[in-house]
Structure 1
Amino acid sequence: MPKVFDWNGFRFHFYSDEGDPREPVHIHVRKGADNAKFWLHPQATLAYNRGFPAHVLSQLIGVIEQRSDVIERAWNDHFD
């Protein structure tokens, strides 16, 4: 489970086994027992949420949008 970065106690990561065929670029976010998954394209959107309140999801989308280049680079480096 490669970690891309941490932000304010949130762990941004993806899984090495992302399906067959592999799913499009996305990021998982975890803090404590709460977790969510976000697609990066065509824009950062929520795939699923387990526990985060709406205002936190909005913050996370903002962070993902700001760091989408870092996320995508880590994804490509890992899977290519």
Structure 2
Amino acid sequence: MPVVFRHRGFRFGFYSNEGNPREPPHVHVKLGEADAKFWLLPEIELAYNRGHSARLVRELTDIVARRRQTLLEAWDEHFSEG
């Protein structure tokens, strides 16, 4: 999983094999076995949560919102055809 950034032990990134056809831009947030997936477009939206508390998901949503541009740029760079 390419990690775009880390925050308080959480890894924010995506997988290189994001489906065929490729899924829209999103980010996985992992800490240990817990994983949450957020869509980045058109709005930030929780796709699923496995193991994070509701309070923590709200905090992670705020972090993803603040860093959305960085995440989108990393996604575009990683998956660019050129």
> Do these two structures clear the TM 0.5 threshold for a shared fold by scoring above it?
yes
State the 1:3 CA deviation. Answer: 0.5
Instruction: List alignment gaps of at least 5 residues for structure 2.
Output: none
Alignment of 1:12-51 (within 5 A): 12-51=12-51
CA distance in 2, matches of 1:21, 1:42: 18
TM-score, scaled to structure 2? 0.95
* 1:47 CA drift (Å): 0.4
Give distance in 2, aligned partners of 1:50 and 1:71: 21
Amino acid at match of 2:9: G
Alpha-carbon separation, structure 2, partners of 1:67 and 1:13: 12
TM-score, normalising length from structure 1? 0.97
> Structure 1, residues 8-31: CA drift from partner, whole Å, max 9, x if none?
110001000000110000000100
